[in-house]
């Protein structure tokens, strides 16, 4: 699994960060950072939930 963000679409709502803070972070400049682009298997379910929950559909997963 590899997590990607479309920076042109992302509004840094931080929903993903709330659901998987180990993987996603929004900085003080409202920029989303993917801390672990290839998360370990134990985080896959939470990452999938975060991607599905993105209000702007700015996140994607490459399997």
- β partners of residue 59: 5
The stretches in the chain having pLDDT less than 70 are none
Listing DSSP states for 25-38 in one string gives: EE-TTS-EEES-SS
Distance CA 45, CA 31 (A): 24
pTM of the model as a whole: 0.93
Domain count, the chain: 1
| pLDDT at residue 63, as a whole number | 92
Q: What is the CATH number of the domain that holds 11?
A: 3.30.70.20
Mean pLDDT score across all residues of the chain = 97
Tell me the residue range of the domain where 40 lies.
2-62
Q: Which long-range contacts (CB under 8 A, 24 or more apart) does 25-31 make?
A: 31/7
Which residues, listed in sequence order, are joined to residue 26 by a DSSP beta bridge?
A: 32
State the pLDDT at residue 47.
Answer: 98
């Amino acid at each position: 699994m590899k997590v990607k963000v479309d920076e042109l679409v992302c509004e840094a709502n931080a929903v993903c960060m709330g659901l998987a803070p180990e993987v996603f972070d929004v900085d003080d400049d409202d920029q989303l950072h993917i801390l672990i682009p290839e998360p370990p298997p134990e985080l896959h379910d939470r990452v999938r939930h975060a991607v599905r929950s993105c209000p702007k559909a700015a996140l994607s997963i490459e399997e």
